[in-house]
């Protein structure tokens, strides 16, 4: 990927800023290699529509795409003369998914770790994910430069909302910024605000004082804050003004007996059954507070599933895309997890986490979804977002509710729901055409026919073929 040299203007980098009035022009290479449909007006007829707003699916709908926007939607819409027609009979149309924990780096068993500036954007887009939040950067300038290249039409990929590197406490390290000094936390946020980054990411050892200072500084710059918490409880973080909670109940140390202030407990994932049940007083009280304060929550059950024994092993699509050494390491790790007695993740805990997600959603909470392509490497970009949809269905949400979580709710969290996240007249034409009835079969989420972003119709097969055997390399 060759990027233009020179200073990057702040307006180009503002991840949460306004979308351009006109759709971006794509490079000839992107069009030639990945775009299947690029006519002036495209009309999908007779399709089952799940619009992302949570209402019932509508059969026999027509959707008109023109100049990168949704020009019309309805059951009685007549296709304009000269339009390119797609027969949507037997298919489902949903909004482009909004991945709310979709890193541009990848970690896997055996010590494999790399920045995914080539494979990740193609996999996200091929899977129907048209917008992402990076939710923690290891190579922030790689993410910023990739965002610029995607916005300029030089690289195929989703819209990217860039998050800061991880901000943690004094026990942290590596690529994270570790500090126990609130003033240093403020300087960290101010610096990344000046670079155009729009979210702050906290990690497990952050102190309440540093978190408060960083949140206040972020809000002063128009940024928002999320976190993978541990040392700070969800309830404490709400009082400090945190906007979004990563990973759901599996990182809520509110449920840990004898939790010490500003300390991350050991065995944090071994949560007591009675406490973490969404029917418990602790859970009910926490959910009510989160909803009252408008704090959103992002579930990432696909990455936890890869670490849970006896859960379904990754589908063959993902294994085929891995670099061979990564595939061997992941397969061995899954066998190890399945063989260890008293593994830290449990079947009951997984079910309780799904139930907590459902309870939060039904209580009126803004629940988003993401893949978090880390851990042992079992959750790939895009494919893990699709699996997240299936797990929401397993947890008891309807097809329409689960689509809302993976699309419109993410757009709400990012502050772009007036333009993205649902299939409505006048919105940007970010759409996913699926082969089959998604209301009857959750696995239809994997059967992507065409992904529309800004009205361009991308061929998912070509995007996936480009990364075959490269996951774990670049």
Domains, the chain, ordered by start: 19-96+422-465 (2.30.40.10), 97-414 (3.20.20.140)
In this prediction, residues 117-121 reach a mean pLDDT of: 98
Q: Residue for token digits 């589908």?
A: 315
Cα 126 to Cα 128: distance, rounded to the nearest angstrom: 6
Alpha-carbon dihedral of residues 397, 401, 291, 360, nearest 10 degrees?
10
Residues 412 and 297: their CA atoms lie apart, in Å, by 12
The pLDDT, as a whole number, for residue 2 is 30
Return the pLDDT at 272.
52
The pairing of strands 224-227 and 244-246 is parallel
Strands 431-435 and 448-453 turn out to be antiparallel
pLDDT at 283: 93
DSSP 289-348: HHHHHT-EEEE-HHHHHTTSTTSPPPPHHHHHHB-HHHHHHHHHHHHHHHH-TT-SS-HH
Given a cut of 80, is residue 402 above it in pLDDT?
Answer: yes
Residue 172 has pLDDT above 90, yes or no: no
What is the distance between the alpha carbons of residues 115 and 472, in angstroms, rounded to a whole number? 9
Q: What is the pLDDT of residue 276?
A: 72
Band of pLDDT at residue 72, cut at 50, 70 and 90: very high
Work out the average pLDDT over 429-435.
Answer: 98
Contacts of 362 (CB under 8 A, 6+ apart): none
Over range 389-401, report the average pLDDT.
Answer: 98
Q: Is pLDDT of 227 > 70?
A: yes
Residue linked to tokens 């939710």: 135
d(Cα 47, Cα 422) in Å, to the nearest integer? 16
Distance between CA 393 and CA 399 in Å, rounded? 7
pLDDT exceeds 50 at position 327 = yes
Which residue from 408, 270, 421 is spatially nearest to 352, judged by alpha carbons? 270
pLDDT at 274: 61
Residue 104 three-state SS: coil
Q: What is the pTM of this model?
A: 0.94
Q: What average pLDDT does this structure show over 262-273?
A: 73
- Of residues 308 and 9, more confidently modeled: 308
Give the tens place of pLDDT for each residue, 273-314.
Answer: 567 788 889 999 999 999 999 999 999 999 999 999 988 877
Q: Which of 178, 198, 249, 203 is nearest to 374 (CA)?
A: 203
pLDDT at 271: 55
């Amino acid at each position: 990927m060759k990027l233009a040299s020179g200073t990057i203007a702040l307006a180009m980098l503002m991840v949460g800023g306004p979308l351009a009035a006109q759709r971006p022009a794509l490079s000839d290479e992107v069009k030639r290699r990945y775009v299947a449909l690029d006519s002036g007006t495209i009309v999908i007829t007779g399709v089952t529509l799940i619009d992302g707003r949570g209402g019932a699916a509508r059969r026999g709908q027509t959707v008109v795409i023109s100049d990168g926007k949704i020009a019309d939607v309805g059951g009685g819409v007549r296709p304009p003369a000269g339009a390119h027609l797609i027969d949507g009979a037997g298919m489902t149309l949903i909004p482009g998914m909004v991945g709310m924990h979709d890193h541009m780096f990848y970690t896997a068993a055996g010590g494999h770790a790399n920045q995914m500036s080539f494979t990740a954007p193609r996999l996200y887009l091929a899977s129907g994910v048209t917008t992402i939040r990076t939710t923690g950067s290891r190579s922030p300038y790689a993410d910023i430069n990739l965002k610029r290249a995607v916005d300029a039409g030089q690289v195929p990929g989703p819209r990217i909302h860039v998050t800061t590197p991880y901000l943690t406490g004094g026990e942290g390290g590596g690529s994270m910024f570790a500090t126990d000094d609130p003033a240093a936390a403020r300087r960290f946020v101010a610096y990344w605000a000046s670079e155009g980054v729009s979210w702050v990411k906290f990690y497990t050892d952050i102190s309440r004082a540093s978190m408060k200072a960083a949140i206040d500084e972020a809000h002063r710059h128009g940024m928002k804050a999320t976190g993978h918490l541990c040392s700070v409880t969800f309830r404490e973080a709400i009082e400090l003004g945190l906007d979004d909670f990563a990973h759901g109940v599996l990182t809520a140390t509110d449920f840990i007996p004898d939790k010490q202030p500003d300390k991350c407990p050991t065995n944090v994932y071994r949560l007591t059954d009675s406490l973490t049940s969404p029917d418990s007083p602790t859970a009910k009280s926490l959910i009510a507070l989160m909803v009252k304060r408008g704090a959103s929550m992002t579930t990432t059950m696909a990455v936890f599933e890869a670490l849970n024994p006896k859960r379904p092993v990754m589908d063959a699509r993902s294994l085929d895309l891995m670099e061979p050494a990564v595939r061997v390491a992941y397969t061995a790790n899954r066998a190890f997890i399945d063989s260890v007695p008293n593994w830290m993740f449990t079947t009951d805990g997984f079910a309780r986490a799904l139930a907590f997600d459902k309870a939060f959603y039904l209580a009126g909470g803004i629940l988003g979804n993401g893949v978090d392509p880390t851990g042992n490497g079992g959750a790939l970009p895009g494919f893990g977002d699709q699996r997240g949809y299936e797990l929401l269905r397993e947890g008891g949400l309807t097809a329409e509710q689960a689509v809302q979580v993976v699309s419109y709710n993410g757009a709400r969290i990012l502050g772009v729901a007036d333009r993205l996240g649902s299939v409505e007249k006048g919105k940007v034409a970010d759409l996913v055409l699926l082969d089959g009835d998604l209301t009857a079969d959750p696995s239809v989420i994997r059967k992507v026919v065409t992904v529309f972003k800004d009205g361009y119709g991308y061929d998912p097969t070509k995007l996936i073929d480009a990364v075959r055997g490269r996951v774990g390399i670049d």
